[in-house]
Chain A
Amino acid sequence: MKHPPIRSDGLQLEEPRTFQRFFWRLERIAWCVFAFIVLLALLGLTGAGGPFSRATARFSAGSLEYPRIGRWLTPDELRIHPDASGEPILVVLDSDFVESYELQRPVRGRRSSSGFGPGRRAFPPSRSS
């Protein structure tokens, strides 16, 4: 059994000051990381709302608004904004996407949806905005 050393001031305890200093510094770094995570969350970069939580991709007949970060078991929206031309838009979803996400039927103006083989679906939405 190893006994703790007796210090020069007479206390019998082991106080590894080098380790303490290292850990105090680590603590301060961790607090910065905590603050950084909160900041990311406030900016919307951890998903679920916030100024940067959604991104937009343009395509020939309109644009697609999508969440940058998705959360597990949390519903999210893909919004399609068609251009003024009013041409029908055919949305084709990749099979990987359909495998990892559960799709619910499109909201507003659902005309028809048809299968494209296993794991592929297309929704031609009408103009929504």
Chain B
Amino acid sequence: MSQKEKHILLIGNPNCGKSTIFNNLTGLNQKITNLPGTTIEKKVGVFKIEDQTYRITDLPGAYSIYPNGEDEILAIDYLKNSILNHQVDLILYIADAANLQRNLLFFSQIADLKLPIILVLNMIDLATYKGIEIDIDKLSESLGVLVIALNSKKNTAKKELINKIHKEHQVFQSDFFKKDTISFQQHWNNNIEAIKENKEGVYKKIALETNERYLKIQNILTPIQSKNTQNAKFITHKLDKFLLHPIYGILSLFAVLFLIFQFIFKVAQIPADWIDYGFSNLIRFVSETLPIGKLNDLICDGVLAGVGGIVIFLPQIVLLFVFLTILEETGYMTRVSFMSDNLMKKFGLNGKSVIPLIGGMACAIPSIMAARNIENSKDRIITILVTPLMSCSARIPVYTLLAGLLVEKNDGIIDYRGLLMLVMYVLGFVASLLFGLLFKLILKQKEKSFFILEMPDYKLPQIKNVLRVIYSKSMDFVINAGKIILIVSILLWFLANHAPKNNFANIEKKYENYLGQDKNSLISSEKLESSYIGIMGRSIEPAIKPLGYDWKIGIALITSFAAREIFTGTLATIYRVQESDDDGNKKMLTILKEQKRADNGLPLYSVATIVSLLLFYAFAMQCFSTLAVTYRETKALKWPLIQFFYMTGFAYLASLIAYQLLS
């Protein structure tokens, strides 16, 4: 006989080990969704005990049922609706056994709602390490609810938990805090409304309640918890002494960043090359298999080339997320924020902005998503706005090509091209700080910036959790970013392969009797010129001429909006570089150097033009996917628009000044 599905809510403070318990209970049977209109993530999983199906929802970790300022209201509203509106059959409250006092505050608030509840003391073994002994039975007795202790290492924990979940559960009978006239639910509602309306004295009133709760918690804990710190092992403290040291701490921070960099740039290149190889073979195969025609072109040059263009970044993005997860899981992330906060706050950012900025050097898309960790809305918006200024990996091929034009390869000790790359990275970082400062001065302060950060004990990362993140983030990226990139690349393909009137037919007619070996490349380059995108390139020429570009570069600028690295490919098409050539890059450089200006016959790719192009690619917002993610994360059209115009405007200005000064 199958019974009605039962709902369980998983609740607890951040860092209490909630997700691990959730993963253990549900296995792969889970779904992560964003709450509509917000970036609040909820995870839902299903598991079965005997005949009974349980649906378990993991809510984001919180410290309290009261929001701190407007930024947290959405999250708390969500919590409130989940608890009050869904028929909850059981609340599993997870507490960090080593930090019971503070973890019980949120418990006391939830318990007062009078729903069936189990208190889980998680990581009890780690508490023992720190010399903390808890009398579980007595705690259960004095609270009047079931208390279970879980060992962080033992695998029997899951079975134990499941058995308990399947039994009947108690509702907390007494009160941590009581209003005589109204129910606690009503009281909670009233307080949230008061916070929303910014009512005078609301925080003071709640502060009194919080104090009262802690006094009760103290009374409960004193007889049942003992701390004997004599033999305790304070590994975290010892590690922090080194990792937060004024000299060693900063050195180790740079060492960690350096390592991440090496991985993202060097190691990720290997699978990226495989993907590249795989896709070019796939494209060749499809183009040879399908009958020649429009469909063939669309699938090969439009869809597959476009998809290949993003999938190639997947190794970098996945690696970035692996590192972010490991940093987060070990607890080092909070130390990075702690160490950099002082510098960042001067520029309108926050210690928690460091991670998006570092990630921005790989790809702005996941990094903007990582800015969710910043509670303060102003700090978060500024972080999102400036993150794309960091030099992302899509700029690398562009910089490489332009650097090759600017400086000859030399065998000296210093590779000047490498030096130029470094300059470009520094330029991006400095620009993001300066624009942070500018936005700090311009944007209205909704809430005062603050930094209140729990620094949890160091832990070894759980491989299962890391694997899960790899899976969910790559799917998220492929599906969400992929959709947009696919549409844009199809659009670009269409614009580059279609022309008004009979332009294309005329070109083919023109070369009908031409016998030269370069017939095909001549035709395709002339077709590109007369295509819609060629027309667009010509029409923006007046605007980009002061920067030193001609209409051909204009086409490359336009196509770059799908992804910056398309720049090199577009130039290759325009200048008829045979891509099959083994020495393609070298040949490309030679061809680019031969290009002359239409008006005065001087070399097109002069120092002035190249510097101007470098600056343009460093600062301009040329990534449609980033704009889409900014929109998704901010839920307001104005932020991607501001991002687009300030970046592109500044890029234009910087390139204009550079070109006019240098030419």
Our verdict on whether A and B bind, yes or no, reads no
